[in-house]
Each structure stands twice: as structure tokens, then as C-alpha cells.
Chains A and B, each alone.
Chain A
Amino acid sequence: MSCGQHFKVAIIGGGPAGIGVAVGLAKRGIGPVVLIERRAEVGGTPMGYRKKPGGVPTFVEWTRGRVVFGEELAGRMAKRLAKTDTTIRLSAQVTQIDPVEKRLTLLWPEGVCDVTADAVVLAAGAREQTPAEKGWLAGARTARVGFTRHITGWLDGNGLLPARKPVVVGSDLIAYSAAAKLRAAGSDKPVMIDRRRSPSAGLFERLFFRRWTRPDWSGDVTAAGIKGDRSAAGVQSSDGQDWHGDGVMICGELVPNTELALLGGLAVELPSRQLQLARGQALSEPGWFAAGNVLGGFHGAQWCYFNGRQAARRVANFLE
């Protein structure tokens, strides 16, 4: 990619949502389009859930109420992307945006480079909330305090079990699937704690995961600290409850990846980091759109893909 190149549309992020945008734009014959993905492959979050011999699928294909290998699900989407003329830039991270000029600065293996576009779609996905962001979980800074992303990175990527006695912090769908993944890989029955009185995953979702495990639940934890000297030894609440373990997994409660927008000057609400939408999926500056989990909240992969398709429609309207 020569620097300074101009595209009709630039897509930031190659997860289900970004792929949906690219596929939708191709269907409308809009181009040239560039999709910029900072990892070495497209597919986004589901790609962490690898298909392995003897592996247990735990990525929820929620619209169909079943579990799959995320890699297969995202792989199907990536195939649709491959049939389009989209220019795909891998290992390329957008590090800065200029909303008015619609200019993106990116770092990729050949260096730093700018591209411009008539319209930009932010499809940067989401990450899991950190202890500091939760506000109710403090304590020691030890090893083996990790996220769901690390469970899949260690297990699917490296064949290693991050914790034998996990304490799962969080109680949404992701937390339950994390507990299931750990249990299926041979951990003890996970303990699950959260600030909420009852789990944020619905009854049906919880029943669904009983196939693998039914975590020991404790809710209503208002102030707690991670215990341990060099490694996590569990969590202790300020009212004396004690959950013993050898690893603490911080799961779910997605935080949208809106830092580009925030630092670039698009309207973002604080401290939630939620994008402020002008209308539909349009952001505060004309020509900027968002799709997928960067919009906030938790949405499954298919929802994000179709939300990307919808964003493509909105982009087409804008370009007309």
C-alpha cells in the first residue's frame, strides 16, 4: 500500500462487524474499500477459540443456541470477505484518526503510513473490563490474574491450563463460557463472584452451560481484593468472605474499543467510553460510522456481522 492512498471507504477492524461492512459494500459495488486489521488474520474475537482435536467448543453461536469453534464461525465470514475486492491490510494498526480530514494514521510492518477515505467505519470491537474499571475489585497485583482472552490464548494457543482452581469474576454469558472452557480443560469447579446480586446471564443461558459446569456462585460483593503474594491465591471481600483459588479470571462486561474516537475528538461519553451516535450508526462527524461491539453492550458474532451489513447500507446512503 503506497502511503497517502485514498479509498472510498476505510474499515477499522476485521472482526465479524468489519467483515460484514466489507461484504455489504461489495454487494453494492462500492469501492475501492480498505479493511485494516491489527492482528495477523481477520476474524476478530471468535478467532481466539481455536479448533483442536479433542477440543471442546465453547464459543456461543447464540442465534442458533449452540456452541461452536469460534474459528470456524469467523472462518465462514472470512471466506465471504475473500470473495470481495476489498484491500485487506493485516498487522496494520490504526493509531490515530483525523475525523474532519477522514485521515487514518497506521503502523504496519513497513512503517507509518496515512490513508484517507470518503467514509470510515469503526468496527474495532470490545475488550473485557479491567479490575480498576470495575472499581470494586482491588488488592494485590499478582501473576495469574487474567481475562477470558487469556484462557483461550493459553489453552487453545499453547495447550496450557492457566488455573486449576479458578475464581471467575463476572457473571455474564462470557463469564459462564469461560467457566465452561476451564472446566472442560480439567480445572476444578470454578467459583464465580460478582458485584451483582444475581448473575447477569439469564436463566436459560445459565442452564445452557450446566452441561460443563455449574459454578459456585456468590453475588453482592461490594468491595474485594485479590489475594496472593506473587501469584493470585483468590479473592477476599472486605466483609470477610474468602474465595480460594490459584488464578483469578476477569470475565465479560465488555468495554468498547473507542479510544481512537476519544483521542481523535469524536464524541464519546465518559467514563463509559460509549460512542455518542448522531443517528443510527452515524458518529458525531459526518462520514463516520460504527458497527459491531464497538457500539457498546454485548452482541454475538452474527449480530455484529449483520450490524456491519447494515452499516454498509448507511455508508452507501451517505456516499450518494
Chain B
Amino acid sequence: MTQFGTWQPKIRGKLFYNWPQGACEEALRFTSAGQLGVEPYDMAIVGAGVVGCGLAYRLSQYDIRVLLVDRLHDVGEGTSKANSALIHSGYDAKPGSLESKLLHEAEADWPGLAARLKIPLDPIGGIMMAVTDEQERQLEAAEKNAHANRATDVRILSATEIREREPNASPDVRGGLLVPGESLVDPFMASIAYAEIALANGVDILLGADIAGVELGQPSGAPLHHLVTADGHRLPARRIVNAAGLGSRRLADGYGGGAFDINPRRGQFLLFDKSARPLVQHILLPVPTTHTKGVLVAPTIFGNLLAGPTAEDLPLEDPAATHTTVEGIRRVVEGGSRLVDGLARQPVIATYAGARCACNQGSYVIRHNDGAPGIVTVTGARSTGLTASISLARHLIDGMQKELGLELSPDSAALDCRPDSAWPGWWRRPFENGATDARTDHGCAICFCEVISGGEIRDALDSPLKPRTMDALKRRTRVLSGRCQGFDCQVPLAEIVSGHTGIGIAQLTKNGPGSELVVPGQAEVTA
């Protein structure tokens, strides 16, 4: 667990960025569909969120040609990057629902999965806290519901029992529910680990490719469809999985998929500095109302404290779906303060917002042969998709075997784990754990807040998915995510990336074309 560097597996898949004048090397640049080979794919997955990546990972265990595409310039950059970062036990799901089943299975999967794939996970458990008499009256029903969801370890706690466990609980606490099955997770590493293994096992990954339409094949036997990118590339595939999250409606319109309505439900969060972490010992959950699950207060696996989310329904395609507002953040502080005493005086470091894919037809809508044979729509993973990603992938594969006649044989050469060197540096802390290293850049901090070295940044640049944007590096190493929000490290970081990859510093972006760090179109002056 204590060595330096990153894993360098033998990589059987192809990786391209559709980034014409972009900030990546020639060898990574996608210019024609021919680069992916002439054979049509057995399966193309649109959307490299945690759902698409999880599916690609599971499929990579079989002998099957798979393509994973996303319009963004890293995996897990949509809804999957901005959530509460919890593995849910499903105690509050609707008993008997698909969500309940998926979460129940996933809860059992996660400890092993996290250990195998090297995804930081901390099973600290949760407490649902009733702070009014009315909420207290709901606890019994909530406990019953949890047991009906097979979360049999859930039980009611008295106010005294809560105070013993949570000395900073609000003085209004009346009682609560102990929910041992809730865990903290590194939400970014989930998508990344899935996709890295998939790539190593031969899944091709194309980033920066906005799928604007689907050309349907002749509806006979196993038709050959084509995904068509916004810039006109045609990607042939016999089966297509629409895992495009909030983009799933637009994509489904392209192949005549059945009716479903989705919209972004915005959730704003406030992140507190590490000094706030000792304030709570568990994930503190409010008693949900019929309208929302409410504002929770939870540690993050990174050692911060998080409060949020809000629940604000916005229209589809509204760019504000991931914007924060002064009013929303005020409501988060208010909500969090109902659970934890002294929260409002803690120093904050950042705010962010995520957009749940709220679906009128319910959580986890799955349609086989939707619009045309061989097409699968999966949408509505509203608030639990990170947790369910693993069980959902299995469920989707089962469904495709039954409904699409998909035949699978295991790939005996496939990897199903990442080695210890794939643990992120901030988690394994090699120096502190006694490792020695010949490279001095592992001992030279670039990000002072999180103590991340230049060596860790270079390792991340060399990791299998070849991250090339600042945000992609941030999700892998934690640079730019501390209390100074890049004050100290933004420019030195860009200098390291440019130096290591040979990409001009003026070309570097936060998250793809249009997000250049300095105004584009200027000649680089060497001072």
C-alpha cells in the first residue's frame, strides 16, 4: 500500500479525445472513425458517467467489443462528479422497488468492490435525526420501512443515545434511527477505476464526442446502427446503451425511444474545512419530507465536512442546473444547523451543485429494444446511481441477455482489480507510511492545502485514461480542491502539465474546449 507511482497495466483498448485543436498529444487525438477499427462494436455505451463506466467495467469481463463514449473530456464529469458521495444502504427506498433491490445488492458489493478496484471507502454509518416531535413520530414507520428493505440492522436511537455518539448534535434532537449501512466514498474514483479496468481489458473509450443522433439499421435480425457525433463521425454498433443521464431524453429522441420525462433537480452543497470534520462522527441525515430527502451533514472521505443538498427542479437543458446561488447556500447552512450545533461558524472552502436526473416515470427506468432492436435506455438514476452502479450493471447485462439475445463468454485474460499503486496518493500517503523514493518530485508539494506533490501530478498524467484537463487532475489527485481553491497551485500546476505533456500552456483547459485557463488566441510570449 505504500509505494509511489501509478499502475501501468497492459492496455488492450484504445483511448481517444475528440479534440481537434486540443490540449492533448497527437497520439490521443481522434480524427477519423477508422482509428477505432473497421469491425462494428457489439455494444456502444453513450455516457461515461458512473452508470456507463460501471457497465463498461462489467462487460469488460467478457469477450465482447465495447465502445464507451462521452461528450465531456473525462469520465464521470456529469452528475457523477457532484453528489453527496455516499454509499446508500437503501433503508429509505420504496420496498419492493427496483431501487430497493439494486441498493440492497450494492451495499453487499461495495466493501469487496472498493478493495479490489482501489476506491477509497469508509463505512462510518449514518444516523437519521428527528428534531421535532412530528419527525420523532415518523421514526417507527421509517424503521419498519428500512426492515422491509432488508436493512435489518437499522434501529431507533433515543436522544441520549444520539448525544453519546454525536456530542455536537443539535439540542433539539428528539431521537433517531441508526443506519449502519451508509458509507463515505470517493465518488470520482468510482468512475475512474471502472473505466481504467475497462480500458485495460479492451474497451475502447472516446471522450469529447457529443452523440447528436443515431442512424438506425435495417430492422431485420441484428441491425447495424450508427452513432453520429455532432461533428459528423459515424460509429457502427450492433447494440446501443443510452446511459446519458440528463442527456438521455435528447438521445432517445434520436432513435424514437419511448416516453419518459426527465429534468434536472439541482442540489447545492457547502464544503467545510478540515477543522470541521471532528464535529460529527456519522453521516447525519434529516427526516425526509414528502418533497425532499432534506439537507444532510456528512464527512467526506477526503476529511472535510459536507452539508447539502437542496432540491430545486429546473427545466431540462437549463445551464443553471449546476450553478450555486447565494440563497441556496443560505438554505443549506440553515438546514445543516438544524442537525449540528456550531456548523455556521465553521470556515467554508467551496460550494458546488449537482443535477439529479429526476424522472416522472420513477427511479431506474430501463427499456429494452427501445425504438429499435438492440437499443437499451437506462435513465432516472436520481439520487442513488453512484451506489447502484455496480448492481445496475449486472442487472442491465442480465436484461440484455434475456431481451436482446446477448451472448457472453468470459474473457479469461480480463483484469478484475487494480493494484495497490492505483490507490490515490492522498489516500495511501506513501512517505508517511514509510516508503522511500528515488524521485524527489514526490517530496515536493505543489498543492499546499492537500499536500499533493508534483510527482503525484505527473503520475496522474501517465495513468491509463491520460487525463489532460485541470478538473480531471483535480478528481484524481485533489490538487485545486483545498481551502485556497487554487490560489497557490493553479499556475505551477499548469506549468507541470505543460512541461510533462508538451502541450502549450495557453492551450490548457479546465474541462475541455472553451475552458482555456487564459483568454484564447494570444501568442505565447516567452518572457
Contact B485 A130 (CB under 8 A): yes
Contact of B509 among A91, A132, A143, A149 (CB under 8 A): A143
B491 contacts the other chain (Cβ, under 8 Å)? yes
* Extra A-B contacts (7), CB below 8 Å, given A91-B443, A162-B517, A223-B326: A111-B436, A127-B484, A132-B350, A143-B516, A158-B527, A231-B510, A238-B327
Q: Which of B55-63, B89-97, B236-244, B341-349 contacts A (4 or more CB under 8 A)?
A: B341-349
Bound form: Cα–Cα A147–B480 in Å: 13
Q: List 5 A-B contacts (CB under 8 A).
A: A110-B440, A130-B483, A130-B485, A135-B348, A223-B325
Interface centre among A109, A136, A140, A270 (most CB of B within 10 A): A109
Interface centre among A52, A112, A263 (most CB of B within 10 A): A112
Contact B352 A271 (CB under 8 A): no
B511 contacts the other chain (Cβ, under 8 Å)? yes
- The interface bits of chain B over 509-527 (1 if a CB of A lies within 8 angstroms of the residue's CB, else 0) are 1111111111100101111
Contact of B443 among A110, A144, A270 (CB under 8 A): A110
Smallest CB-CB separation from A136: which chain B residue? B326
B306 to chain A, nearest CB (A): 13
B351 contacts the other chain (Cβ, under 8 Å)? yes
A230 contacts the other chain (Cβ, under 8 Å)? yes
A310 to chain B, nearest CB (A): 26
- The interface bits of chain B over 425-437 (1 if a CB of A lies within 8 angstroms of the residue's CB, else 0) are 0000001100011
B340 contacts the other chain (Cβ, under 8 Å)? no
Contacts of B524 in A (CB 8 A): 158-160
Contact B510 A161 (CB under 8 A): no
Contact B487 A132 (CB under 8 A): no
Bound form: Cα–Cα A92–B329 in Å: 37
Given that A143-B517, A147-B487 are contacting pairs, would A38 and B348 also be in contact in the complex, using a CB cutoff of 8 Å?
no
B400 to chain A, nearest CB (A): 35
Contact A111 B437 (CB under 8 A): yes
List A residues 8-62 near B (Cβ within 8 Å): 38, 50, 52
Contact B445 A93 (CB under 8 A): yes
Contacts of B348 in A (CB 8 A): 132-133, 135, 271
Bound form: Cα–Cα A142–B486 in Å: 13
B505 contacts the other chain (Cβ, under 8 Å)? yes
The size of the chain B interface, using a CB distance under 8 A, is: 63
Which of under 10, 10 to 19, 20 to 34, or 35 or more describes the interface residues of A?
A: 35 or more
B7 to chain A, nearest CB (A): 22
Contact of B345 among A50, A111, A238, A270 (CB under 8 A): A270
Contact of A132 among B445, B485, B516, B522 (CB under 8 A): B485
Contacts of B325 in A (CB 8 A): 138-139, 223, 225, 238
Bound form: Cα–Cα A136–B516 in Å: 26
List A residues 110-168 near B (Cβ within 8 Å): 110-112, 127-128, 130-133, 135-144, 146-147, 149-150, 153-154, 156-164
A314 contacts the other chain (Cβ, under 8 Å)? no
A172 contacts the other chain (Cβ, under 8 Å)? no
B441 to chain A, nearest CB (A): 8
A194 contacts the other chain (Cβ, under 8 Å)? no
Smallest CB-CB separation from B469: which chain A residue? A143
Contact of A107 among B274, B319, B451 (CB under 8 A): B451
Contact B510 A230 (CB under 8 A): yes
Contact B275 A262 (CB under 8 A): yes
Bound form: Cα–Cα A290–B326 in Å: 35
B328 contacts the other chain (Cβ, under 8 Å)? yes
B444 contacts the other chain (Cβ, under 8 Å)? yes
Contacts of A224 in B (CB 8 A): 326
Contact A144 B323 (CB under 8 A): no
Smallest CB-CB separation from A148: which chain B residue? B487
Contacts of A130 in B (CB 8 A): 349-350, 483-485, 487
B450 to chain A, nearest CB (A): 10
Contact B525 A160 (CB under 8 A): yes
B11 contacts the other chain (Cβ, under 8 Å)? no
Smallest CB-CB separation from B319: which chain A residue? A229
Contact B323 A225 (CB under 8 A): yes
Bound form: Cα–Cα A144–B490 in Å: 11
B302 contacts the other chain (Cβ, under 8 Å)? no
Contacts of A127 in B (CB 8 A): 484, 487-488
Bound form: Cα–Cα A147–B440 in Å: 29
List the 10 closest pairs (A to B, CB-CB), nearest first: A159-B525, A153-B491, A143-B510, A109-B440, A143-B515, A230-B515, A230-B514, A223-B326, A138-B324, A109-B443
Interface centre among B445, B449, B492 (most CB of A within 10 A): B445
Smallest CB-CB separation from B514: which chain A residue? A230
Contact A259 B514 (CB under 8 A): no
Contacts of A230 in B (CB 8 A): 509-515
- The interface bits of chain B over 323-365 (1 if a CB of A lies within 8 angstroms of the residue's CB, else 0) are 1111111000000000000000111111110000000000000
Contact A247 B443 (CB under 8 A): no
Bound form: Cα–Cα A136–B330 in Å: 10
A108 contacts the other chain (Cβ, under 8 Å)? yes
B172 contacts the other chain (Cβ, under 8 Å)? no
Bound form: Cα–Cα A10–B359 in Å: 59
